[in-house]
Amino acid sequence: MTPPVAIDRAEAVRHALIRLVARDGFHGTSMTAIAKEAGVATGTAYVHYASKDELVMATYVEVKHGVGEAALASVDAGSPLREQFAQMWTGVRRHLEAHPDRARFLVQADSSPYAAIAHEQALSAEDDPLMSSPVVARLLDEMVDLPPEVLFDLAMGPVVRLTATSRGIDESLAETLIEACWRAVTDSGSR
Amino acid sequence: MTPPVAIDRAEAVRHALIRLVARDGFHGTSMTAIAKEAGVATGTAYVHYASKDELVMATYVEVKHGVGEAALASVDAGSPLREQFAQMWTGVRRHLEAHPDRARFLVQADSSPYAAIAHEQALSAEDDPLMSSPVVARLLDEMVDLPPEVLFDLAMGPVVRLTATSRGIDESLAETLIEACWRAVTDSGSR
DNA sequence: CTTGAATGAATGAACATTCAGTCATAGGAG
DNA sequence: CTCCTATGACTGAATGTTCATTCATTCAAG
C-alpha cells in the first residue's frame, strides 16, 4: 500500500525552476524562490543537485528532450516528407502550447551561456533524440545545404519563439508559418 | 582647450554591460563588475542611471537602434526590392560582426523579460528607426501576410543569432542564408 | 564660491550553499 | 508479529559571500 504517487521532489524543483525563469528570467530566480515555489525546503534541492548550475543543466536537457520527443511522436513515417515536416512542426507547437513555461524557459536558456556549456557536456549528438532519428536525417537530406543547427533554427526556431510569446499561434498563422519555414529550408525548383 | 574627447562615462558603463553580459549572461553580471570593467567607481553608474534595470533598458535600446541604423544605412533606395533585402541583411551582418558582443547581448536581452518591458516602454514603434522607415514599409508590403514582428524574426533573426555564435558567417553561408530568409518571407509564384 | 560629476567605503538585503538534526521507512533479529 | 537499527531523503536556521544601492566627501570647471 505505497501511496499512489510518491512525490518526486527533484522533478518538483526542476518544474519550479522552469516556472520562475519563465516569469522572472535567470537573474531574479533564486534557489530560495525555487524551493518555495516547489514546496520544498532550501536544502532539498541540494540533495538532488550539487549546485544551481547543475540544476539548470538537468532542467535544460529535460526540456530539450521533451521537445524532441514531441516532435518525433507526431511524425507518420509513411507520409511524404513535406507532410512529415508539418507533423513535426505541429507536434512541437502543441507540446509548447501545452507547456508555455517551457517555451519561455527554453528561449532564455538557449541564448544564455548555459546553452554553450550544455552542448559541450550533455548534448553532443547521440543524446539528442532528434539528431539520432532516421526520420530527421531524411528530412535534413531533403533540405538546403546548410549546417544542421542552422536548419533547425530556420525550421523550428519560429515555433519555439512564438509559443514563448503572449501572441500565441492561431490556426491560420500556423499554416502560413509552416509554409514559410519549409520554404526557408528547401529550395525545390530554383537556379 | 577642452580635452580632445571628454570621456563619456555613461557610454563606458553601457559598453561594459554589453561586454559582460555577452560573456557571463545577465545572471553573473553585477554592478560592481560592470563599474570595474568600465574603469569607473561603483557610484558613477548611479549618477547616470537610477538603477541596474534602467541601465539595461537604455543599453538595450541603444543596441537595437544601432542595428536598425546599420540596416538602413546600407540600403540603396534605387535597387530592386530583393536587392534591398540583401543589402539590409548584409548591413546587419557586418555591423554585428564588427561588434559580436552586441549580438550576444542582443539575443539574451531579446529573449529575457527585459524585452517585454522595453517594448512596452521605449520601443512602441515611432522610436524604432526600422519600423518608421518607408524603405522597410515597402519591403514588408512585398512580404507574406504575417505580423511584422514575425517577418523580422524570419528575415533577420538568423543573422543576429548566428553572429552571436562562435561559428560565425562566411561568404558562402551568408549567400545561402540570405536566399533562405528571403524565401521564408516571400512567396512569389506558389499555389 | 557654486555646481554637479565622480568617488569608493559603507550598508543592509538577498544570495548560494551547508549542516546538524528530524523523520519515515526498510530489513534483520528475536 | 514486534522491536531495533541503519539509511537516506528531508528540513530550515545558520554561514559567509556577493549584491544593488547610498552618501559623505573630493575634485574640476565655470
**Rounded to whole angstroms, how far apart are CA atoms A147 and B51?**
42
**Rounded to whole angstroms, how far apart are CA atoms B90 and B74?**
8
Q: A76-90, A100-114, B86-100, B122-136: lowest mean pLDDT where?
A: B122-136
Over 80: is that where the pLDDT of B4 sits? no
User: Which residues lie closer than 8 Å to A45 by C-beta, 6 or more apart?
Assistant: A13, A31, A34, A35, A38, A55
pTM: 0.94
pLDDT tens-digit readout, B34-79? 999 999 999 999 999 999 999 999 999 999 999 999 999 999 999 9
CA B41 to C1' D25 (Å) is 14
CA A85 to C1' D4 (Å) is 63
Length of chain B as a residue count = 191
Looking at residue A125, its pLDDT comes to 54
Over 60: is that where the pLDDT of A190 sits? no
Over 90: is that where the pLDDT of A124 sits? no
Candidates B154, B177, B185: best to mutate against A (most CBs of A within 10 A) is B154
Nearest nucleotide to B31 by CA–C1' distance? D20
pLDDT tens-digit readout, B163-185? 999 999 999 999 999 999 999 99
Over 80: is that where the pLDDT of B5 sits? no
Looking at residue A149, its pLDDT comes to 94
Over 90: is that where the pLDDT of A126 sits? no
Looking at residue A128, its pLDDT comes to 81
Looking at residue A6, its pLDDT comes to 66
Mean pLDDT of A119-126: 69
- In the stretch 125-164 of chain B, residues with CB closer than 8 A to chain A read 144-147, 149-150, 153-154, 157-158, 161-162, 164
Nearest nucleotide to B43 by CA–C1' distance? C7
Does the beta carbon of B103 lie under 8 angstroms from any beta carbon of chain A? no
Q: Where are the alpha helices (DSSP H) in B39-170?
A: 42-48, 52-73, 81-98, 100-110, 113-121, 134-142, 148-163
Mean pLDDT of A139-151: 96
What DSSP string describes chain A?
A: ---SS---HHHHHHHHHHHHHHHH-STT--HHHHHHHHTS-HHHHHHH-SSHHHHHHHHHHHHHHHHHHHHHHT--TTS-HHHHHHHHHHHHHHHHHH-HHHHHHHHHHHTSHHHHHHHHHT-SSTT-TTTT-HHHHHHHHHS-SS-HHHHHHHHHHHHHHHHTSSS---HHHHHHHHHHHHHHH--TT--
Closest partner CB to B26 (pick from A26, A107, A185): A26
Q: How confident is the model at residue B3 (pLDDT cuts 50, 70, 90)?
A: very low
Are A111 and B110 inside 8 Å of each other by CB?
Answer: yes
Q: How confident is the model at residue B119 (pLDDT cuts 50, 70, 90)?
A: confident
Are A158 and B158 inside 8 Å of each other by CB?
Answer: no
